[in-house]
Each structure stands twice: as structure tokens, then as C-alpha cells.
Structure 1
């Protein structure tokens, strides 16, 4: 799983919880960093912050869809933005799902399991 966010503390905490849930995670610091380095391996899902300076999540998602490594990887917007704005702009960027930051993590986990079911522990 790839987590893209410009704030290190939140994504690192989320990654730690996801590891306890059985996921392998990589955290990338911001949109530009996500687009610069090709993935070592293709993630099963991308958790993407939308409000990032210099290169926002909508731009990152659209660019990922143009690359062969991410063209079919589910992308979940994980943001504090209003759901209506995310849905409207997210369709253009080909974002597959949305969960609001600040809500229970169980909601995010349910969406992850729905969009990228675990084949085995450590996915």
C-alpha cells in the first residue's frame, strides 16, 4: 500500500496502524515525491491526500492514471475536503474512492478491503 501525504506525522501513524492490520505500507512525502520515484513494486492500493502544496492529490491521481505502474491501482482520496468537491474533481482524476480524514479508521479499512481485497497477510 502506498500512502501519499505532505504531513509526515499523520501518514506515519496511519501506516503503523495498517501494519497492525496486516498491510505492508510505504509512505511518500508529498505529490512531487510520489511522481518522481517509480514504485519498487506496484502497490495494491494508493491512499492519497488531496490538499498538498506544489502538487495536489488530484494532479497526482491523474498522472498516476497515465503511468503503466498505476493505471489500474485503486486510488482512495483521504482528505478533509468536502465530499461533493472530491467526487466532482475526483471523477476527472479517476479517483476510485473517498474517505474523510477524522472519521473512524474502520471506515477507511472497510473501503480498502472492498477495493483491494487482501489475498494473504502482508498484502
Structure 2
């Protein structure tokens, strides 16, 4: 599982919680590094922050979708932005789902479970 967020502490905390649930995670610190490393790491799912400087989550998703390795990898927008805005712009960038930051993590866990039917092993 790839977590892309410019808030390193928040991303590491999310990774720790997901590790307790049995997922293997990799954290990438921001959008620009994610755009540079997409071909090196092909996860089962991407959890993507939207509000990042220089290269936002929409640009990261669009760059990932241009890579043949990422055409079928589910991308979840994980953002504090308004859901309607993220969904509208996310469709153009081919983001698959949205989960709002600040809510309980149950929504995110349910999306991950739904989008990765194989479960935690090898995620």
C-alpha cells in the first residue's frame, strides 16, 4: 500500500495503524516525490492526499494513470477538501474513491477492504 502525503507525521501514523491491521505500507513524502517514484513501486492500492504543494494529488493521480503499471491500481483520495470538489476533479484524474480526513478511519478501512479483496497480505 502506498501512502502519499506531504504531512509526514500524519502519513506515518496512518501507516502504523494500517500495519496493525496487517498491511505493508510505503510512505512517500509529497506529490513531487510520488511522481518521480511511481514506476519503482507498484502497490495494490494508493492512499493519496490531495492538498500538497508543487504537485497536488490530482496531478499525482494523473501521472500514475499515464503509467501502464498503475492503470488498474485503485487510488483513494484521502483529503480534508470538500467531497464534491474532490470527486468532480478526481474523475478527470481517474481517482477511484474518496475518504474525508478527520472522520473515523472506519470509512478508509472499508474502502480499502472493498477495493483490495485479497486483504492485508502483500498490500
Q: Does 1:52 align with 2:68?
A: no
**Residues of 1 paired with 2:37 and 2:62: CA distance?**
16
**Residues of 1 paired with 2:25 and 2:40: CA distance?**
12
1:106 paired residue number: 106
8 Å CA contact 1:22, 1:122 repeated in 2: no
2:28 paired residue number: 28
8 Å CA contact 2:2, 2:43 repeated in 1: yes
Runs ≥4 residues deviating over 4 A: none
In structure 2, do the counterparts of structure 1 residues 44 and 84 end up closer, same or farther at CA, with 3 Å as the change threshold? Answer: same
Aligned residues: 123
Unaligned 5+ runs, structure 2:
none
Deviations 1:29-80 (A, max 9, x none): 0111011124544200000000000000000001100001211100000000
TM-score normalized with structure 2 length: 0.94
1:74 paired residue number: 74
3-state secondary structure, aligned to 2:27: strand
**Residues of 2 paired with 1:38 and 1:79: CA distance?**
20
8 Å CA contact 2:24, 2:120 repeated in 1: no
Unaligned 5+ runs, structure 1:
none
**Residues of 2 paired with 1:6 and 1:48: CA distance?**
10
TM-score normalized with structure 1 length: 0.94
